[in-house]
Amino acid sequence: MSFLNGDTVGYDTENNKAVFIDQTLLPSKYEEVFTDSYTEMYDAVKTLKVRGAPAIGVFAGICVAVLINKLKTNDKEEIIKELDFICNDFEKCRPTAVNLRWALHKMFDEGKNSEPAKIKDNLKNLALKMIDDDIAVCRKIGEYGAELLKDKNSVLTHCNAGRLAAVRYGTALAPIYIAKEQGHNIRVFADETRPLLQGARLTSFELCDAGIDTTLICDNTASAVMARGLIDAVLVGCDRVAKNGDTANKIGTSAVAVLAKHYGIPFYVCMPFSTFDFSLENGSQIIIEEREGLEVTDYWYKERMAPGKVKTMNLAFDVTEASLITAFITEKGVIKPSEIKKYMSI
């Protein structure tokens, strides 16, 4: 029996456990993990068992609530000291995703500003609110996006920004799911997204599971598919957006954006408004995570496929310049890069 019932992360408040789908096992195995171990929580995010900017943020909030409620003490000074350590340390495991920092800061502020007797309950309630809010936000992204897709029949997406990247619905795939609810079936071309194949393993899995017409393509096929007129729009998610609209997303996204611009195809970034980082002037200030080379040379192969002495550069993200982006689809509406400054005070 499933605790999550279709969601990606959850909070078992009865047993004070964080719950997540281990996405490294998909699509061959579906497993829900229940944990109150900080080491296991940190590892889950670091090793991409939980991934996707919205899901990482919500999961971090759940983890903080679980760990603080696990403490035997009710002394505020001791609790805040532990809370400070957890939030500062946890933020280091995935530095590019702004949602992680956002959620941890909200949890820390909630704890710091709570009365001693209410800290644990307040953190638990805030984590539960994060879950509900993420579902509502993704639903709105889907509704705004579905409106833009009314005259479109086929889209391309890169990496995974569906329900597995959030609690439910997702970001880039939310418009597809909402459109289907409205009777509009849209065909999806999914880039496999190397080196971790999150498009092949995760996007294909969840779209096929939802009955969406899905075609998996190699990353280097995107240009050929666009040239044949098979793509009406591109939908991607993202992990951080600077004040000028420069956007960090899974490695390879910027190449797709360049192709879309060349072929005159609208390129939409779907994201919660919280993904804007107004402290950064442009994309050059976004920290880009670099992961171990084994993901390139060894993963998915029966034996190592590259020479032992070869060097690797395994960047997890790249930055798409604002000039290549048609619009951002958020829960607050559709925002063009040139309009971002108007929303900075919201």
Q: Which residues are catalytic?
A: 239
Tokens coding 106:
């909200």
Is residue 121 within 8 Å of residue 56, measured between CB atoms?
no
> Under DSSP, is residue 237 helix (H, G, I), strand (E, B) or coil?
coil
How many CB atoms sit inside 10 A of residue 95's CB?
17
State the burial class of residue 57 (Cβ atoms within 10 Å of its Cβ: 0-12, 13-18, 19+). Answer: buried
Residues 6+ apart with CB under 8 A from 250: 158, 159, 193, 198, 236, 239, 316, 317
Burial 212-229, CB ≥16 within 10 A → b, else e: bebebbebeebeebbeee
State the burial class of residue 313 (Cβ atoms within 10 Å of its Cβ: 0-12, 13-18, 19+). Answer: exposed
Return d(Cα 324, Cα 262) in angstroms, integer.
10
> Under DSSP, is residue 8 helix (H, G, I), strand (E, B) or coil?
coil
List the beta strands (DSSP E) in the chain. 9-12, 17-21, 32-35, 154-157, 187-191, 214-217, 233-236, 240-242, 247-250, 267-270, 276-277, 317-320, 327-330, 333-335
